[in-house]
Amino acid sequence: MKLDAKIPSGPLEQKWDKHRSEIKLIAPANKRKYDIIIVGTGLAGASAAASLGELGYNVKVFCFQDSARRAHSIAAQGGINAAKNYQNDGDTIYRLFYDTIKGGDFRSREANVFRLAQLSVNIIDQCVAQGVPFARDYGGLLDNRSFGGSQVSRTFYARGQTGQQLLLGSYQAMMRQVAQGRVKLYPRTDMLDLVLMNGQAKGIIVRDLVTGEISSVAADAVILATGGYSNVFFLSTNAKGCNVSAIYRAYKKGALFANPCFTQIHPTCIPVSGDYQSKLTLMSESLRNDGRIWVPKNAGDTRHPNDIPEDERDYFLERKYPSYGNLAPRDIASRSAKEVCDEGRGVGPGGRGVYLDFSDAIKRIGKDKIVERYGNLFEMYERITGENAYEQPMRIYPAPHYTMGGLWVDYNLMNNIPGLFVLGEANFSDHGANRLGASALMQGLADGYFVIPYTIGNYLATTKEPKPSIDNPEFKKAEEDVINMIKKLLSAKGKRSAVSFHKEIGKLMWDNVGMARSRQSLQTALKRIPEIREEFWRNVTVSGINETLNQDLENTIRIADFLEFAELLAIDALEREESCGGHFRVEYQENGEAKRNDEQFAYVAAWEFQGLGKKPILHKEPIVYEYVQMATRSYK
């Protein structure tokens, strides 16, 4: 299989305009003849549904939540980047483009990222027109803040709830199309399989989560906007329901999965407090502006932090990275915290935590100033831990947060399976090996509002494969497969809950395929994963029946997919013998820093499924830079 990214020819800054002028269109009166399926109602899915509905297509939208407004985009805090240059501080589209490429450690596609930077300005215009209440200054104009990885202030925000406000904007735009009859919404519905007709994506199999009914949905094209797979680690900052099932099922039907090993670990989260813990909560990265990170110098020091004298504290980031100090980049800060905890110097219950101390900042600028800057975060911290961070240091620890990898897509956001489009975090396209803060919201909305409305028309105008009938044997067979899988799970009647397997695989992945990976740890994981999976199918117990609302069953189905997907993630991590971005292989470092290998690994690793337990085939899409020079990121 030859991977063709279909990058348009011509100068970088003209590619998208040229492409838009050249691709095929569907006439307005004909659009209503086409049915489009969208799975997921986060920023990418909801904005795509709204835009395609406005154009006149028949859109069917599916989400597992009780309402489309609850997708996990809602939890994004910080903001959304756009190269508006409203601050007159030298921002340009090129600068946003370059920051994103560099932040991604030179593993993303030039043409895609440039388009993203171009569209960023339209997103802000669109959202303001929809009534998104962005922060404003006293003159009534839009305010900006600065964020990691850039030297300009280009981040637009709505308090600490930017994701919520952007999602409500696109949800409301979608509900307007529901009112106009162009979008049909199916909440509490899970996608369980993708259906192909003559090699093209033409439908899905869904389960109604209230009645358990399995049914087929046919369409002219299928869009997956189902988010990332951080929950493979069990504990992450993702919502409980976030899962890999939709994109993994597509992978099993032949869709290439690209760079699964590129996962992002966020350094400032509230640490795990016990076995019962269900998820981790992110604390904004901005805290590192005023907080100092430290652990006791001696392992096993259990004194109260306020009783540990200054000369027995190790401010390890300031020591190791004097010029960046506590503001070292995300991956560095995360790995350093892990190292000191591995040495037995971690703090708090379980010893997986480091202190983030504000006492010096309070002495320097006063408590009032700290309350003003971070008051809501200190409140949230106290609500969860019961500790007052004005009086004693916070405890923080890194946690899985975002996944850069996803289904492979070309410039049109179409997968190697024609008719299958993948948007937002679910695809691999724009963030390379590491995503910059405030760029996930930008990408989700660019894909949904401004890319897919054009590129899907080109596919529909050129395909010869019509929308099939759901009476087709392909649908019947896919339905049967799903029903059999559910029967198998319900009849296992073993001795362990599905969640216990999720916790087990999560811990295995976190310990061996998490922040620091080695050949040995990856091989350990690859040996263990099939064993856990085998025991799962033999020894799981699922309560209840299919024909009712059954959360245990819903969850078990998702866990079954994680148990398979984990193997793909580890295989990709083993194959990529270099350290870059969020992927750190301990064998490949120079003076403790990640060592990239551009000569051998400047490619997108796109994996093709060959059957469970068989090694997937690796297809390489070379990453070629025509306009930027690959460089080493330096932190010292």
Among residue numbers 543 through 572, which ones bind other proteins (CB under 8 A)? 543-544, 548-549, 551-552
CB nearer other proteins, residue 98 or residue 454:
454
Out of 38, 46, 74, 456, which residue is the one contacting other proteins (CB under 8 A)? Answer: 74
Cβ closer to other proteins: 479 or 578?
479
Q: Does 450 bind other proteins (CB under 8 A)?
A: yes
Report the C-alpha dihedral over residues 582, 106, 103, 225, rounded to 10 degrees: -70
236: Cβ–Cβ under 8 A, 6 or more apart, which residues?
Answer: 230, 242, 279, 280, 399, 400, 401
Q: How far apart are CA 69 and CA 440, in angstroms?
A: 18
Which residues ranging from 204 to 223 are in contact with other proteins (CB under 8 A)?
Answer: 206, 208, 210-211, 213, 215-217
For position 429 contacting other proteins by CB under 8 A, the verdict is no
Q: Are 266 and 331 in contact (CB under 8 A)?
A: no
- Sign for the pseudo-dihedral over CA of 98, 99, 104, 108: negative
The question of whether 596 is a catalytic residue gets the answer no
Cβ neighbours around 308 below 10 Å, total:
19
Between residues 42 and 104, which has the closer beta carbon with respect to other proteins? 42
Q: Is 507 in the site for other proteins (CB under 8 A)?
A: no
- Give one word for 386, left, alpha or beta, with left for phi > 0 and alpha for psi -120 to 50: left
Check residue 25 for interaction with other proteins (CB under 8 A).
no
Give every CB contact of residue 375 below 8 A, 6+ residues apart in sequence.
none
Site for other proteins in 222-241 (CB under 8 A): 239-241
Q: Which of 185, 225, 389, 594 binds other proteins (CB under 8 A)?
A: 185
Beta bridge partners of 580: 583
Retrieve residue 71's tokens. Answer: 């997708």
Region of 21-29, 64-72, 389-397, 458-466 interacting with other proteins (CB under 8 A)? 64-72
Binding range to other proteins, per CB under 8 A, among 164-172, 226-234, 252-260, 601-609: 164-172
Question: Contact between 579 and other proteins (CB under 8 A)?
Answer: no
Residues 90, 88: Cα–Cα separation, whole Å: 6
Q: Which of 330, 395, 517, 576 is catalytic?
A: 330
Q: How far is the CB of 152 from other proteins (least distance, A)?
A: 17
Interatomic CA distance for residues 413 and 424, integer angstroms: 10
> Does 539 help bind other proteins (rule: CB under 8 A)?
no
Find the binder of other proteins among 146, 463, 541, 546 (CB under 8 A). 541
Does the footprint of other proteins cover residue 63 (CB under 8 A)?
no
Secondary structure (3-state) at 137: coil
Q: Other C-beta atoms within 10 Å of 410: how many? A: 19
Residues 276-305 that bind other proteins (CB under 8 A): 276-279, 281-282
What binding mask, one character per residue, do residues 116-145 give for other proteins by CB under 8 A, x or -? ------x-xxxxxxxx-xxxxxxxxxx---
| DSSP secondary structure letters along 104-120 | TTT-S-HHHHHHHHHHH
Backbone phi, then psi, for 145, in 5-degree steps? Answer: -130, 165
HSE, side-chain direction, 13 A CA sphere, residue 73: 37
342 lies in the site for other proteins, by CB under 8 A: no
The answer to the question of residue 273 lying near other proteins (CB under 8 A) is: yes
Q: CB-wise, 47 or 336, nearer to other proteins?
A: 47
Q: Taking the complex as a whole, how short is the minimal distance between the CB of residue 178 and other proteins, in angstroms? A: 5
Minimal distance in Å, beta carbon 89 to other proteins?
15
| Burial (0-12, 13-18, 19+ Cβ within 10 Å), 393 | buried
Out of 11, 300, 309, 386, the only residue in the binding site for other proteins (CB under 8 A) is: 386
Q: Catalytic positions, please?
A: 330
